[in-house]
Structure 1
């Protein structure tokens, strides 16, 4: 045998050995995969063919005190894109599909693409990107028309991986045509930060497709309203197409929120506020010679005994349905626009205005508890001089020597100027002493002014007590700006007044002078309040001195009708004002509606049967027209209405105030007909609506006045 033949055989043996070893290795590996590790790999394969789809819960209802739905739910079509299928298309096919989707949902391809990016990935846009499961179809448009949904459903070949499904979204039944936007609030998609925080806390109620409350009771009680999502496990093929359901975990609907709002009263309040603003815009301001601007307003109705909110309105307002299905940039810009009156701002809880003469009852309480007597008389002159300035009456003329009751009745400014000046002379004539005693300031703080009321609505403004401490703090924060302005050469486009003010402020802007004290005594100057703060303080006058934290919510009820939580009225403080003084002020304010500044609006009103006390106010604001107020109350309710740049208090809001009282007690002409009252029994119900087994909600048993 030749040497070459032997070499060839050796090579063949080596090759055979290698082939055998390869087959042996493959056999061993297959045995391991199929026999030893088969169960584990089979489980992994099964897991990869099953995906979790989040089933959003139905959000809880919001109802009024009679059980009428204020916020409910309706079915909406949602267009979603399955990114798994989208990822299996080539670049041209993907671009074309995104373009088709953008056309059908009336968006740009860029908008659709932005919604498909997972939050945290490169190119993700905050509040637009997708927070949910990577295996779940991503919603790219919600609340689309049925025609759009049918177009996607009927042409699956043109929209591979695009789904049209029905989901639950918020709806607003608007009983009696009410708006109530600032109280109810609105929803928007969960943010990336909120989702991450929920994940850290293992909070199952939030997922990437959730919406959360952003304002009003929707935000305050979001955790109760949102419910728990369910999960639907679906089997898919190798292309990611759904083959069928594997298992389902049902979602849990949100709880129902029962509020103290009475929709019928709310309708009257909204209508009257809007009507009074519209009417004042047709009136001429005698001071400026121009039509009243009447740029905004608010009205509040409280249960005087508990502080619960019966109605609350703000103008300008907006349509709460504008948030459903996503809000456009132009719509959002309108809500924040100053030119549109900033409709998103609730004037009732966030608007801050000088209170004018509605302030005087609290100054009366401060004076009577600090040395003055109900027998005290002071001159109600046409003017009161402080230094080189004469402070004049606004709403009243000269009445000679009068007491507190008459001063409240005719709203005499100079009477209260003298009280403010007297306390300033006695306790704080050193204008630089920020620790000087001030009984009127202390009384205002006791009535809750200068701090938030604690209402169960987010974003409440605190108002401001412009006392010595505030003035010093304001001076320190603004001193640099005004001193710098005072040192600059005067320019032609800046008035002498601005430079004069800057120089004076730079030198002594922290000094609390007598003029500050007399302005404070009549609710002028830098002191500002919210309409809700004023209503709460008048409720304390009505109920004998209890200062409540106003509440909108009364209870949380499960979907099965079980009361989960009762939200009781919260007592904030008890006023340290003797009852005899509160009774004295109460009697004086009765005179305002009988023969005082509100009497001309109450002619023919049956005050002998429904006793309404009131105080008017006309606050002067530098550079603007007068802000008009009327604050009023009975044993049951407090009604406050104000209009910014609307004229005098009774002139701008008096007719609206009267109409609200007529609705509350069922007054027709000079007759009182309780059966026609907006609220059954004429007083707010103490009990909750009845939740029946069939899901219907019945009003509570009417409660009669005095019960």
Structure 2
């Protein structure tokens, strides 16, 4: 019995020893496989888990004026970022303490830091706040951090595990001569998820989740050139996320420089004059309404007449473009879109649409003189004209008797042009239902580019509107439900007599193009609207002999090394066929506006014999508002247009400002022309580009032969 028990014990021991040896053999074989056969593979995987890919954002390209002065540049700021991966390994208590400690250091609430760490697409993520980049890259939570706070974090890394502090470049605005140019330059904001996905599908590697992109102005139009190419840095980190060594480094490529046709000195003069004219009118009594002018907005354009290049362009109200740097607050954003603040984001110069008033009459003159009327035509400039059951009055009911087209332009006679518009309606399209009736005045307006975008290299341009028969029919179809809805109900306290009466008439026959429509069209009233840029381009065509240019702000793209990559040359839109006799007649007539007509009182003492300005003033009536004032003027070199909404008459509201701009352009002091005092050396813009030095310096361009012509 004892022998049997002893045998069983030995058997169990043998089995146990066999199992132990088997386990050891299996473990040894597995270790041999891992360390010897697959050692390199697993070593690489282990190393990769401690290597982080960091996107290095490129420095965005500069924007400079025609003389090489920086309009937009860059500055370095301190940026604090947090490593999401390391935070995820922390206990809840340690994570909360770190967020609070970091918040105290940078002056930011912990819950706001938390919101910035959320990935866009997470349940609680807020668009514009959440992180749109790689989840494995440190997330920026604070930009433009004070240097003292940044250094404190850098000097105490043990207290801020996973907190990364580095320097990045952001936009700054040097403002030479105090220029603003916000609507020209535009602004940046973070790339959206949809934009990033579209770029990835297109194979565009120039953007990533942390990119900022242009949203307006030249920042948007030339974004692909300005943005540069991101770099990528691989770093080895320890278990606490601290960088131990660089593994590899692909340098970021800076963006290209955009040279514009803007001249900062002229831009400064234009902005100042526009702001001053608005301020003056706001302090001036309107004799019509017996209250001060609202002067709620305005715009000004200076264009090269021979090329369509924009030399200066300003809009009011404007804004400080630097508010977008580092993220804009909700309060700031609401103000930019606020109607009470004048909608500062709206660029009135090329996005604002206004009735042109009498600045429209030169184009109507061309239409008339190429369809039966002649320089010898005489019509009666009476104080009013009866059209249907209503008397249409001349400005201030003035009457000048029988006059020519030239005199009608000088004194801006409405009743003269009423008769021209009515004549074509009566002879070519007296059926108010005929949407296809010919109208030479409408055709001429369209030939000068009105009703369509100019093609300027700025996003968001408005098209304006030529209110012809087809437009009126289309407008009726789109609005009849609204106005007929008002007309079918009894009038209430919220609906004025005018609106109620208009609604009833519109509902019954709002599609008809009647005689008053044609009369109003001929003087730039009614439903026709233009942008200041459209008007400037059309006057440039009168100046240069009929060429309609696509306006340009960009002049060239230059690489970071100073090499010209692309010249942005002026593009012809079309040639407006105007007989030379008509063009000379019109040119002389508009010269008369400056010397003896409605602009003369603002140009007294100006050396018009040396700087021959042609001009046209305009005052457009707007229902429920004060008049919109215009002055459109030109020489052989430039076009200057300025307008003011609710500012009164054209010359009265903007005449002094237009004169000051001409004085700056030609160096006029009193009755003397001093070319050396001109805002642009040589009086006209240089044909050459600025000189880019190898050391990064930018010098003014050398002038080529013929620039002073």
Alignment TM class, shorter chain as reference: over 0.9
Whole-angstrom distance in 2 between the partners of 1:72 and 1:473: 47
Taking a change above 3 Å as real, the CA distance of residues 394 and 705 of structure 1, as seen in their structure-2 partners, is: farther
1:518 aligns with 2:519: yes
Q: How many residues align?
A: 707
Identify which range, 92-101 or 277-286, moves more after superposition.
Answer: 92-101
- Quote the residue 1:398 is aligned against: 399
Structure-1 separation of matches of 2:270 and 2:174: 18
- Residue number in structure 2 paired with 1:647: 648
Partner of 1:540: 541
Q: Which runs of 5+ in 2 are unaligned?
A: none
Moved more, 517-526 or 495-504: 495-504
Per-residue CA deviation, residues 392-427 of structure 1 (Å, 9 max, x unaligned), is 111672111111111111100000000000011111
* Mapped partners of 2:242, 2:389: distance in 1: 86
* Secondary structure of 1:561 counterpart: coil
Secondary structure of 2:120's aligned partner: coil
Look up the match of 1:69. 70
Tell me if structure 1 keeps the 8 A contact 2:191–2:210: yes
For residues 495 and 644 of structure 1, what CA distance do their matches in structure 2 show?
Answer: 24
Which is worse superposed, 228-237 or 291-300? 228-237
1:460 aligns with 2:461: yes
Q: 1:695 — aligned with what?
A: 696
What SS class does the counterpart of residue 206 from structure 1 fall into? coil
Is the aligned partner of 1:124 residue 2:131? Answer: no
SS of alignment partner, residue 464 of structure 2: coil
Structure 1 segment 7-406 matched on structure 2, within 5 A: 7-394=8-395, 397-406=398-407
**TM-score with structure 1 length normalisation?**
0.98
- Taking the aligned partners of 2:381 and 2:153, their CA distance within structure 1 comes to 78
1:630 and 2:623 are equivalent in the alignment: no
**SS where residue 137 of structure 2 aligns?**
coil
- 1:181–1:317: 8 Å Cα contact kept in structure 2? yes
State the Cα distance separating 1:189 from its structure 2 match.
1.2
The root-mean-square deviation of aligned C-alpha atoms, in Å, is: 1.4
* Deviation of the 1:45 alpha carbon: 1.6
Q: Which residue is 2:411 aligned to?
A: 410
Give me the whole-angstrom Cα distance separating, in 1, the residues matched to 2:524 and 2:20: 102
Deviation at 1:83, TM superposition (A): 1.4
Contact 2:161 2:241 in 1 (8 A): no
The farther-off stretch of 390-399 and 175-184 is 390-399
TM-score by length of 2: 0.98
Task: Assess if the C-alpha contact under 8 Å between 1:302 and 1:639 holds in 2.
Answer: yes
Question: For 1:70-96, what per-residue CA distance to the aligned partner results, in whole angstroms no more than 9, with x for missing partners?
Answer: 111111111111112212211122122
8 Å contact from structure 1 (residues 127, 192) kept in 2? no
Give distance in 2, aligned partners of 1:99 and 1:446.
66
Residues 381 and 414 of structure 1 are in contact (CA less than 8 Å); yes or no, is this contact kept in structure 2?
Answer: yes
For structure 1, which segment, 604-613 or 50-59, has the greater mean C-alpha deviation from structure 2 after superposition?
50-59
Could you tell me which residue of structure 2 aligns to residue 587 of structure 1?
Answer: 588
Looking at structure 2, the residues matched to 552 and 127 of structure 1 have their Cα atoms a distance apart, in angstroms, of: 30
Alpha-carbon separation, structure 2, partners of 1:128 and 1:195: 16
Question: 1:472 aligned to 2:477?
Answer: no
Contact 1:396-1:410 within 8 A present in 2 as well: no
Which residue number corresponds to residue 492 of structure 2?
491
SS for the counterpart of 1:144 is coil
Answer with 166-175 or 103-112: which moved more.
103-112
**Aligned counterparts of 1:648 and 1:144: Cα–Cα separation in 2:** 50
Which stretch of structure 1 is more off in the superposition, 32-41 or 522-531?
Answer: 32-41
Q: Secondary structure at the match of 1:340?
A: coil
Stretch of structure 1 that moved more, 538-547 or 483-492: 483-492
Structure 1: gaps spanning 5 or more residues:
none
Per-residue Cα deviation, 1:583-637 (whole angstroms, up to 9, x for no partner): 1111100000000000000000000001000000000000000000000000000
- In structure 1, the residue corresponding to 2:341 is in which secondary structure? coil
Deviations 1:627-669 (A, max 9, x none): 0000000000000000000010000000000000000000000
Q: Distance in 2 between matches of 1:150 and 1:7?
A: 75
CA-to-partner distance for each residue in 1:468-506, whole Å, 9 max, x for gaps? 111111111111111122122322333333222211111
Residues 254-292 of structure 1 show CA distances to partners (whole Å, capped at 9, x for unaligned) of: 101000000000000000000000000011111100000
Deviation at 1:8, TM superposition (A): 3.2
